[in-house]
Chain A
Amino acid sequence: MEPQDDTGALLRQARPDATPREAPLDLDSILRGGYRARRRHRALIGGAATAGVAAVAAVLAFSVGVFGLGDAPERRQEFPPGDPLGFDPAQAGYPGPAPDVWDERQPALDEALRSAFGDLAVDGGFLDADALDYERPADEEVQDRMDEGMGYYAALAELGYRDLPLQFGPWSSEATEAQVHLLGYVAGAGDGAPAVFEINALAPGGWTAEPGPTGTEAFPRHLISDEPSWTGEAPEFSTEELDDGRTLMVADHGCALDAAVVYPNGSALRSSWDLGCPDGAARELSVADLTEAMLAMPQIEYDTSALAPVGDVLDVPDGWPWDEGWEAEAAGDAAATFDAATNALGEHHPGIELLSSGPSQRGDEGGQVVHAFSGTYRLPYEDEEDIPVTAAVTYFLPGGWLPGLAPEGSGGAPYLVACGHSDKDDTCEEMEVAGRTVVTRTFGVGDSHSYGVLLYDPAGWAVELTSAYAGHVEGATFDDLVETVLSLPAPVYDPAAYAQD
């Protein structure tokens, strides 16, 4: 029997020493923060109630227009243009996903979705008849969860009100190597159900109404394609400019329908419906019904204050496709790398001990990743609380990242280090040492400090050392750590295999 076979016992044995270290508790600050939160809470509940009534009223009137009294919905709705941006929104994006805060529009938007697409989805066999029998939790329940530290959509998820059929959730998509994001909402058949349709509302920015391939590679993104996609044949594609300023596009692929509406405020709505392309299912939807539903949806107002031009798109070396076997393949190089690194570190810190090392892929499974060799060390020092000082050393092989410090306010990627991106009060510096770029990041809490030093070699690799300890440690000061990193040897890898044009 291997030790890991009794994982529960092993886990209990691995419990770290959690004797709390002395740390100041700033109760005055906590009380001030609590009072601020109470004021925000009162303002929020008042505002949400007012906005909620108005929004529901608007949606109700709009629903009557769609399904009841015969007036064309577009005559009942207004589509005001957005404020001028001063730049081309197609070549722009948002710095990151929208914050998970109370979304006043969400209940009304869900109502609009259900009104416009509910019958169509059920009648066409995309949803079961009872799929839309769910109720939104009360605002008070949502707010209670948010008081416990959750965001708005996290609170809805906790209450079982997320990823339901025809329910909008926040959507974001990274573009230009994660320099910018596209934002909006997305709805589908619900968590666990076959993805037979998707409805995606897009905020202005990062996309073009010009038809083209709808993948995530191009920038700006295309809303809808007039080229073969669902099948080997091009769809029957139509574009219509409406009197109210909207543009409607429909692509009929025979076994699937795609549609998009571009609104005068620069936002858009698109949807895709699989009538049975891959599985031969007999789901039904006519172009006329889809058109009516798309045009029944309201124009959504978005906050575009953070929308900014992309500028010159950074030339980021391609990352590597995630590969299940890469770690095993690279284990030898990683071991040789840390043999050499340990020797070099021993010159500065005699007695240093390598605790673990190995290759790792940084990124999402199935996506583009960065290749790294990671190791952890115990340095031959103890800090002022008699705790051994440890350090992590990470080698980044070429591809998928850029050297230097991320621009202020950016989301970090494709850079390896960013300042001010977390809630820590960190300080970063970038310097040149003997023709090589060094970036440092430090932050502290009380007497404890955290240091990160990143060295970028012109050959295309980088190495990072991070450490944290309390008080002053002779031999492991900030300057010592910088000097240590400068002495680290190159990683062992095949430069030819990592070369890029």
Chain B
Amino acid sequence: MKSKEQQEAEFRSFALAQRDALRRQAYLLSGDWFEADDIVQKALTKAFAVWRRIDPVGAPAYVRRIVVNMYLSHRRLAWVRRERASDDVSPSRSEHPQEGVDLRLEVVAALDRLPPRQRATLVLRYWEDLSVEDTAEIMGCSAGTVKSQCAKGLGKMREILADAAAPVRA
């Protein structure tokens, strides 16, 4: 059994190595760097609480799963829901100016209107480029569920974008 010092040293190395990837994942899920930092801080705290039981090889995937769960928990908070009300594009979703920025904002706004689990599934598949199997592992569901969530999510986004085409001005 590892000593407390060994555990701490191992965890520190792990956290430093993984933090950028975890923050990137949390940002893509939440669209907000503040929230992403909150999520990663809490996820790493939870990971350290059970560090003795985590297989080092599977640790990155395990913590990524915690990040997804933390994101979904944040979505359940009423205050966060109010801050991300249905049709808003997050003011803190910083964008570099470039062609197509308006369309991109509309796509992101449409993504924000999906239920949290559907949104998370699409982010992992399309923004993080994870395979169906890896997405299923992180989401804690079957590959079939990932496929159906993707299909439903894309279908819903298609409807939202089509509806938004007329009234949304740029």
Contact = CB atoms under 8 A, between A and B. Distances in A.
Given A37-B46, A354-B169, A421-B79, A149 B91 contact: no
A63 interface: no
B126 A450 contact: no
B27 A31 contact: no
Contacts of A362: 82, 85-86
Nearest to A356: B168
Interface in B123-170: 126-127, 140, 154-155, 157-158, 161-162, 164-165, 167-170
B164 to A, nearest CB: 8
Nearest to B94: A387
Contacts of B86: 360-362
Given A7-B161, A13-B100, A37-B45, 20 more contacts: A4-B165, A10-B103, A11-B154, A16-B94, A20-B20, A25-B19, A31-B8, A34-B11, A151-B73, A154-B73, A328-B167, A335-B169, A356-B102, A358-B168, A359-B167, A376-B88, A387-B96, A388-B95, A390-B94, A424-B38
Interface string A375-399: 0101000000001101110100000
A158 B145 CA distance: 13
Given A20-B24, A148-B65, A423-B38, A450 B92 contact: yes
Contacts of B12: 27, 31
Contacts of B24: 18-20
A445 B36 CA distance: 11
B45 A30 contact: yes
A359 B163 CA distance: 13
Interface in B4-23: 8, 11-12, 15-16, 19-20, 23
A435 interface: no
B154 A424 contact: no
B1 interface: no
5 nearest A-B pairs in the assembled complex, by CB-CB distance: A34-B48, A37-B49, A4-B161, A33-B45, A14-B107
Contacts of A2: 162, 165
Q: Which interface class (under 10, 10 to 19, 20 to 34, 35 or more) fits B?
A: 35 or more
A437 B31 CA distance: 31
Interface residues of A, number: 79
A147 B42 contact: no
Given A150-B73, A358-B168, A390-B94, A14 B89 contact: no
User: How would you classify the secondary structure of chain B's contact residues: helix, strand, loop or mixed?
Assistant: helix
A343 to B, nearest CB: 15
Most chain A CB atoms below 10 A, which of B87, B92, B164: B87
Contacts of A75: none
A355 B102 contact: yes
A344 interface: no
A328 B167 CA distance: 7
A38 to B, nearest CB: 5
A470 to B, nearest CB: 9
A356 B106 contact: yes
A280 interface: no
A191 interface: no
Interface in A52-78: none
B77 interface: yes
B20 A149 contact: no
A315 interface: no
Interface in A8-55: 8, 10-21, 23, 25-27, 29-31, 33-35, 37-38, 41
A30 B88 contact: no
Contacts of A5: 158
Contacts of A10: 103, 107, 161
Contact of A7 (B28, B76, B79, B157): B157
A325 to B, nearest CB: 12
Contacts of B155: 7
Given A25-B15, A33-B45, A392-B88, A7 B154 contact: yes
B120 interface: no
A15 B126 contact: yes
Given A149-B66, A422-B77, A374 B161 contact: no
Contacts of B165: 2, 4
Contact of A356 (B34, B92, B105): B105
A394 B85 CA distance: 10
A492 interface: no
Interface in A231-258: none
A423 B31 CA distance: 17
A122 interface: no
A5 B97 CA distance: 25
Given A12-B127, A148-B65, A149-B42, A18 B170 contact: no
A87 B28 CA distance: 49
A30 B41 contact: yes
A462 to B, nearest CB: 14
Nearest to A40: B49
Nearest to A449: B34
10 contacts: A16-B94, A20-B20, A21-B33, A30-B45, A31-B11, A33-B49, A34-B45, A149-B69, A355-B89, A359-B167
Contacts of A372: 85
A93 interface: no
A327 B160 CA distance: 13
B23 A391 contact: no
A356 B170 contact: yes
Given A13-B104, A34-B51, A41-B49, A158 B140 contact: yes
Contacts of A338: 169
A390 B158 contact: no
A411 B78 contact: yes
